[in-house]
Structure 1
Amino acid sequence: MSNPKEKKPSLTRTLSLRVALSIGVGIMVGAGIFVFPGIASGEAGPAAILSFLLAGTIALIVALCTAELATAMPSSGGGYYFVSRTFGPFWGMLIGIGQWLGLVFASAFYLYGFGSYLIDLLKEIGYQPGDPIILIGLATAILLTFINIFGTKSAGKLQNNVVLILTGILTLLFLYGVLQALGIIGEASLPSPFAPNGFSPVFGVSALIFTSYLGFVQIATMGGEIINPQRNLPRALVGSVLIVLILYLLAIFVTNSVLPVDQLEELGETAIVEVARSLIGDIGALVVLFAGLLATFSSANASILSSSRTIFALSKDGLVPKWVSVIHQRFGTPHRAIFLVGLPIAGILFVGNLEVLAETASLLHLIIYGLICACVLKLRKEAPIWYVPGFKTPGYPALPAVGMLAGFGLIFFMKPLSIILGGAVLLVSAIFYFVYARGKKLSDPSPPHIDPKLRKPRILLPVSLPLEKSIPLAILKGFTNLEVLLLGYKELKEQTSPEQYEEEDDGETQAELNETRKDLEDEGFDVKTELVFTPDITQAIDNVILEYDCQALLVVKPIEELNRLLIPVYDINQISKSFATVIYELTKASNLPATLMIIESKEDSENDEVKDSSAINREAMKRLRQAGIDKNQIKSSSVQVSDISEAVKEKSKPDDLVILVEANAKERENFINKIRVEISDKIDCPLLVVLEERKQEEDSEPKDSPAEEVEKEDENDN
């Protein structure tokens, strides 16, 4: 860390499980449920139900993979965030721009559909308004843009209410149609024959109607704003797909029960209106048109909500300009990112050819879906230390592999023009990356399973006052994302009272400590200070470590430059996840090479108890790579010595940083003394000790009586 990174903007978790479900359902139950039943049935007949089932199964597989990734990386950005953290910023840029523009295209399509449904509804009730579809869509786009700016919670409530009404209307309509088809109401009219054109059209129709399932991944795009993401994200992702799948299966069944295949083929996208009219008369047509209004409105709202979070995430990562991710101080929303969704939608409404753009959006999403499944395959295999999902995809690796192949495979059933347009979006994204964002580094995810203090470790830096030389900043400048606890101490003689000395000191030592702190803060470090006057500095250090919960202890040396990390390893259990995480967090920005020094004890060799140093080396290398340290950074060597201090003295250089792990937290004072006397005083390079957490002994605290325990429980309940 040479300079701290600016605090990145973050969004508040205000979205409940119901709202998360409504976002996914709202996008998926859009124009698809009104347009595709007639078109799909016209091509495949009642067998179209298999097409929706096949597409829904693929969507469910992707939803399961998304749930795994989202619980490991519950941040805003969804598919973009997953892909960028798995395959790097280049692929992240392609997916991010594709996800953003794909939802912009889809939103324009939905809003145009909203205008069409409104005109048809007005005509159905006898009013002839002309044809202001574009103006209606434009006005609605502006309205939704400002609703989303005024607050995510407000937009979420609107989405939840609209989807609740919509799904209620559709469920009642389709259940009535099922009862009629089964003969429970009136005469039975089951669809027959099941596959009038054979089963070959089923796969082509699956590719056509897969656009109906686009949208559930956008729940993950809102991951940074969903309450309790570990529980709610998997439920929302899988639940939304299942809800929509059931609605689509009911719609296809009822459609084919009410009208014959040849009539459905003739009616095409308006078939569902005539199905409703056949079921309950003209009021049915009005109900479907009203439901179509709600569907397209909710799809557009959910798309704007999630699309803005994609461009917000791109900006947070520096792949697009930083001003995009500014959060409105009053409303707490990414208002500039929302404008970058609303304005293009308004412009596209005047372009036309929205069907082609909608299919292009589907193509871009299929690429995202395929890569999401690929992310699960890659991350499960490599198992980086930050990847600890709260939910795991069942059937690994088969299900993710099937989802990946199916997602990419359905692209080949798309129209050539859509494939060309999708390719053009990816090409422009690639060019923008190489011109603007090439070389950008992305921060690793910060999953809730890893203790935050390991992601921003607090380093204790003891310095004797008055300072003989200034603190060599070269030791710290390679580090990133840490907090320095500067412990200034004056080591007193045994007979000297600390209170008396502090009174005689008259603040001079404190002033010097403050000056040292200012020097560090001027270099951009986050610094806290503590001053002690003590005859026992070892005990003082131990007390401060416990009081401030420090994760590492740094013993400085007067060096000008740091060029290597030297990590002595004598037991593979040293390389714990916490140790590896701290090493990574301390060094990820410096890109310093690391050398593992495998220590073989001479005593063990003489007693024929030589440890398998090659096995220790392989396992240690693996754990450090899992922590995120590039394999090209790590080298290894072995040395036969009597103890660790001899090994460090023999192999260390003045420009090294020796990194040790604490041997036993319960015997910290003895360990610190050993560090000072046996190692630090014998070497010329600085030393970093990663500390174990020392938990308080249960027996050291008096236990409450049963009556006191009941009293505490009552207080907690109140």
Structure 2
Amino acid sequence: MLKKAVLGWPQIAGLGISLVIAGQFSGWNFGLADNGWANMLLATLLMAALSCGLALCISELSTAMPHAGGVFAYAQSAFGPFVGYLVGSACALALTIGTGAAATFVASYMESVFGFGGWPVKVALFALIIGIHIRGVGEALGVTLLAGAVAAVTLLVFGGAMLPQLDTANLLGAGGFSESVSLHGVFACVPFAIWMFICIEQVSSAAEEAADPGRAMSRGILAAVATLLLTAITVLICAPGAAGVQVVGTAADPLYAAMTHSGGYDASSWLARLVGIGAICGLLATFFSVVYSASRQLFALARDGYLPAALARTNRRGSPHVALQSLAAIGLPLTLVSPEKLLLCVVLLLCSCHLFLFAAYIRMRRSHAHLPRPFRLPGGPLIAGLGMLLTLVVIAACFQLEIEMLSALGLLAVALVINYLVRAARVAKPIVSENPDHV
């Protein structure tokens, strides 16, 4: 049994911010160097609209049906066990891959700010974060909330420090905005732009542990989206505007690189070091949050018979300790892979889930109209329909991946289908109960 009624709306908001905010410290900049700032700006605004619509749909679904499986539960309820299983498995896989990218980004900032990184840092990160989660959700999310708040403040401090260094020539060059924009450039930037917002939907996994899902989920998610939009625009303008597109676009630690290459600060500056430490806090916050959400996805799938039953075991503090340990066993070796490749894999997997999630929202408005909805999204089906169209664009853009990575994802998909066929006959109960107390 998961521990109930432990999370209020500030913790939900903190979880939502923390799940996403690492993408504003690292990863998003990979779209800049080859495609330019104007294309990245338009792609970011489109992805902000997509993520906001997704978060609002999630807010309604999570108040109507609190469930630790989150998107897995909603897809199952709308389309049956096979689709629900595939969506839940893809989300769990994406989040597990994300732990490898997060560890790599933390190690890069640690190397720049403190002069040490690499494998010792990565191993220590997994050991520390998994250990705190095993101790209990209250402790883990308490640390997450604090780290996410520090990260958000750091981004705003960074914006204030960089504002006097801004030069529009660094953003647009000699051609101006209109000459810098192209459909191809926006399309190529889309997977990196959504990295600044992606994973906000995973906060729905906390609904089963929320003290009052009807209030806490909607308030927390909306507060998280508003905060993330503000910080994303701050970073996108201030980092390349102060140091230039090429410097920021090729850096593993873009905010620290922006400060130390802008001319206003050097590596020994206390403010540059402060921003670097804040970046580490933000990345740690996302690491904590991704581990939390991935473990709950694995727990929910195993609890309902579609993964080994051991993954559904919880300790006396209500933490799914076997699922947490499995994340470390998979995530640590993935730090050997280029973070840009991991990023595209995560985006491809999660956006494939988003398609089903939007579709599930539209269907459940009709098929589950009897469920109470403390939060109801005005014009929800229209917003979900537009979200599906934008999501298809993101999926298409993710095929920038090399054939090797796409093949590996394809083989994993085949393995998941085989696993379902082997286990489905043994699952006698439905995956989702409309009674949120049924665990």
* Corresponding residue to 2:230 among 237, 240, 246: 246
CA contact (8 A) 1:145 1:342 kept: yes
Q: Structure 1 residue 273: deviation in Å? A: 2.5
Q: Distance in 1 between matches of 2:30 and 2:20?
A: 17
* 1:170-319 correspondence to structure 2 within 5 Å: 170-178=155-163, 181=166, 191-192=171-172, 193-200=176-183, 201-261=185-245, 264=248, 267-277=250-260, 278=262, 280-282=264-266, 283=269, 284-319=271-306
- Measured after TM superposition, the shift of residue 18 of structure 1 is 1.8
- Aligned-partner residue type, residue 97 of structure 2: F
C-alpha deviation, 1:425, in angstroms: 2.6
Identity of aligned residues (%): 20
Query: Which of the two has higher C-alpha Rg?
Result: 1
Paired with 1:274 and 1:10, the residues of 2 have a C-alpha distance of 42
Q: In structure 2, which of residues 47, 50, 55 is the aligned counterpart of residue 63 of structure 1?
A: 55
The DSSP-based 3-state class of the residue aligned with 1:34 is coil
In 2, Cα distance between equivalents of 1:39 and 1:411: 16
> What is the CA deviation profile of residues 146-190 of structure 1, one whole-angstrom value per residue up to 9, with x for unaligned ones?
100101000011001111111111112213434664xxxxx9989
RCO higher in 1 or 2 (8 Å CA, sep ≥ 6)? 2
> Cα distance 1:227–1:315, how it changes in 2: closer, same or farther (>3 A)?
same
Where does 1:551-566 land on structure 2 (aligned, <5 Å)?
none
1:93 equivalent among 61, 65, 85: 85
**d(CA) in 2 for partners of 1:371, 1:423:** 18
User: CA 1:314/1:178 → structure 2, altered by over 3 Å: closer, same or farther?
Assistant: same
| CA displacement 1:249-268 (0-9 Å, x = unmatched) | 11112134323445555x45
Q: Aligned equivalents of 2:8 and 2:252: distance in 1?
A: 34
Distance 2:135 2:330 in 1: 19
The one-letter amino acid paired with 1:208 is: F
1:216-241 CA distance string (max 9 Å, x none): 11210121112211111112223222
The correspondence for 1:344, drawn from 318, 330, 335, is 330
Change (3 A) 1:55 1:419: farther
Instruction: Describe how 1:451-490 pairs up with structure 2 within 5 A.
Output: none
Partner residue of 2:111? 119
Deviations 1:371-409 (A, max 9, x none): 111011111132354x33222222232111111222233
In structure 1, how many angstroms separate the alpha carbons of the residues matched to 2:65 and 2:421? 26
Q: Counterpart of 1:222 in 2: which secondary structure?
A: helix
State the partner residue of 2:19.
Answer: 27
Q: 1:175 to 1:196 in 2, by over 3 A?
A: farther
The unaligned stretches of length 5 or more in structure 2 are none
- The alpha carbon displacement at 1:140 in A equals 0.9
Aligned: 1:162 with 2:147: yes
Q: Give the TM-score, by structure 1 length.
A: 0.56
The CA deviation at 1:121 is 1.2
Superposition map of 1:444-593 within 5 A: 444-447=432-435
Partner of 2:100: 108
Q: Provide the aligned length of Structure 1 versus Structure 2.
A: 427
Report the structure, 1 or 2, having the larger strand content.
Answer: 1
Structure 1, gaps ≥5 residues long? 1-8, 124-128, 182-186, 456-480, 482-718
TM-score, scaled to structure 2: 0.89
Structure 1 residue corresponding to 2:135, chosen from 121, 138, 150: 150
Q: Given the superposition, is the C-alpha separation of residues 60 and 260 from structure 1 closer, same or farther in structure 2, using an over 3 Å criterion?
A: same
Give the C-alpha shift of residue 444 in structure 1: 4.2
Distance 1:379 1:306 in 2: 23
The one-letter code matched in structure 2 to 1:334 is: P
Q: Deviations over 1:312-338 (max 9, x none)?
A: 111221222333222212x22121221
The code of the aligned residue for 2:46 comes to L
Superposition pairs for residues 65-84 of structure 1, below 5 Å? 65-84=57-76
Deviation at 1:43, TM superposition (A): 1.6
One-letter code of the match for 2:334? I
Separation (CA, whole Å) in 1 of partners of 2:168 and 2:432: 59
For 2:257, give the aligned amino acid: E
| 2:318 alignment counterpart | 332
- Deviation at residue 347 of structure 1 after TM alignment: 3.4
